[in-house]
A = this chain, B = another copy of it.
């Protein structure tokens, strides 16, 4: 809270005029993150019909968002369990809605269900790929742009390392 106060150029006590406490701050960050991820997804999906392009759009939306707001990703990855009660439920609902939206895109890739890989686990692993990059991606140092990264991750998820990519 002291760092937040300093960053906002307000006294420590001043924060509590606007927010009830640290938990509410974490709540708003997490809720806003998943909510704007979901809305950004629906918006950018707009007129895209090809299932493969739809998934790539989702990945690009996700990677762009977190690449530009890496702190949000860290909080959403590490502070999910700190919320309790109604705050947890509200974030959980948004998170679940976002996950299900992407899960649906994954499902649409394979209309003939029941065969091959489990779509839920595959979706969870997709999120693993596109979330873990905060551990190694340093915007400044990396030679790969966020959109390039999203494209590579989509290709990797869809076609695998053996067949994926251009070669």
Is A118 an interface residue, CB under 8 A from the partner?
yes
Is A16 an interface residue, CB under 8 A from the partner?
no
For residue A80, which residues in chain B have a CB less than 8 angstroms away from its CB?
Answer: 135
Bound together, the chains give a CA A163 to CA B158 distance in angstroms of 8
For residue A115, which residues in chain B have a CB less than 8 angstroms away from its CB?
Answer: 165-167
Bound together, the chains give a CA A7 to CA B116 distance in angstroms of 44
Asked if A167 and B116 sit within 8 Å, CB to CB, the answer is yes
Is A109 an interface residue, CB under 8 A from the partner?
yes
Main secondary structure of the interface of A (DSSP, over half): helix
Asked if A124 and B118 sit within 8 Å, CB to CB, the answer is no
Contacting A78 at CB < 8 Å: which of B78, B109, B153, B157?
Answer: B78
Chain B residue with Cβ nearest A142? B121
Stretch in A29-37, A65-73, A126-134 touching the partner: A126-134
Q: Which of A108-167 contact B (CB under 8 A)?
A: 109-110, 112, 114-119, 121-122, 124-125, 127-133, 135-136, 144, 149, 152-153, 155-167
With contacts A125-B129, A132-B125, A133-B124 taken as known, whether A117 is within 8 angstroms of B165 at the C-beta atoms is yes
User: Could you name 29 residue pairs across A and B whose Cβ atoms are closer than 8 Å?
Assistant: A77-B135, A78-B78, A109-B161, A110-B162, A112-B167, A114-B167, A116-B166, A116-B167, A117-B164, A117-B165, A118-B152, A122-B156, A122-B161, A124-B133, A125-B129, A125-B153, A127-B132, A128-B128, A128-B130, A128-B131, A128-B133, A129-B129, A156-B160, A157-B160, A158-B160, A158-B161, A159-B160, A160-B163, A160-B164
